[in-house]
Amino acid sequence: MTVPTSVAVLRQRCGSVKEYARDRIFSVTRSILFETSCDSLDDSASAPAVRFRLAGAADLGALGEKPHEYDVSAKKFGFDRLQGGDSFVVGECDGDVVFYAWLMHDQIDLDQNVLIPTAEHIAYSYRVFTVEKARGRRLCGAYYTWLKRLLQEEGCKRLICRIGAGNRGSIRAHTRAGFEPCGDLWKFVLARHCTYRADRRLREWLGNLCPAEYFSSSGLLLRHNS
């Protein structure tokens, strides 16, 4: 009989407890919203070995926990998003999916399933992921170059994304791809109740972008869809 006392199992269980506490008991997290214009193309950031394409439910179903870090609940969420009209993009190298990303139209996502409608012709990029073996090849920049061309053809003007303040790698990659910060969004969790608050800079920026009814004058998110 194997007794589950290995360090890996302990780490996993501690991780689950930490996640539970963060999501349901108390936590304060900060994320940053970034924006770029779809007209600003950076042709130097191309990676010819990777082919990007819009993907569908079959591609999503084929992703696995390794190396794509896509589990069953994430897939369920993904199928739901496809039904909701979001676009799913994969980057392939020698027939393998080494990169994937999601795109939402005319609304932004301040948390999972916390959607705020925006003005039209705005795209929101989320869940951008590169598999471990393909990291460091500037796929993120190449993806955004490809994506901006696509969005230009569709008449889209601005591209937005939200990145956790601690995710330095992603912030670096997005800044390199032409994104500029628009302000901070704070999420407060206390006893399973979530509150979102935008700083002054983000509040002004969102004021031009989202219906006013979604934010109070103090930056508190008043209404969302969950």
Partner 1 sequence: MNELVLETHGLRIAVRSNSAMLLEQLRNRTASVAAQSSGTPQLSYTIEERRGESGLSYAIRCGTGRMQRSTTPREALDAVLRRMQLHVAEEAPDHIFVHAGVVSWEGKAILLPGRTFSGKTSLVVALLRQGAAYYSDEYAVLDRCGKVHPYARPLQVRVAGGSRLWTAHMLGAEVGSGPLDVALVVFAKYHLTSCWQARPVSPGNALLRLLANTVCARKRPHEALACLRLVAVEAPAYVAMRGDSGDAVKPILDLLARDSKVGRKL
Binding site for partner 1 (CB under 8 A): 53-54, 56-57, 76-77, 79-85, 87, 105-107, 113, 115, 117, 119-120, 152-155, 211, 225-226
**Can you name the residues that pair with 123 across neighbouring β-strands?**
105, 159
- In the bound complex, what is the minimum distance in angstroms from residue 2's beta carbon to partner 1? 37
* Beta strands 26-37 and 180-190, pairing class: antiparallel
- In the bound complex, what is the minimum distance in angstroms from residue 16's beta carbon to partner 1? 22
User: Which residue, 44 or 83, has its beta carbon nearer to partner 1?
Assistant: 83
- In the bound complex, what is the minimum distance in angstroms from residue 13's beta carbon to partner 1? 27
Which residue from 85, 88, 80, 136 is spatially nearest to 107, judged by alpha carbons? 85
User: Which residue, 44 or 226, has its beta carbon nearer to partner 1?
Assistant: 226
User: Are 159 and 177 contacting, i.e. CB atoms less than 8 angstroms apart?
Assistant: no
Rounded to 5°, angle at Cα 197 from 140 and 175: 20
User: Which residue, 33 or 156, has its beta carbon nearer to partner 1?
Assistant: 156
- In the bound complex, what is the minimum distance in angstroms from residue 76's beta carbon to partner 1? 8
Residues with Cβ within 8 Å of 63's Cβ and at least 6 positions away in sequence, in order, are 70, 75, 97, 100
User: Which residue, 98 or 104, has its beta carbon nearer to partner 1?
Assistant: 104
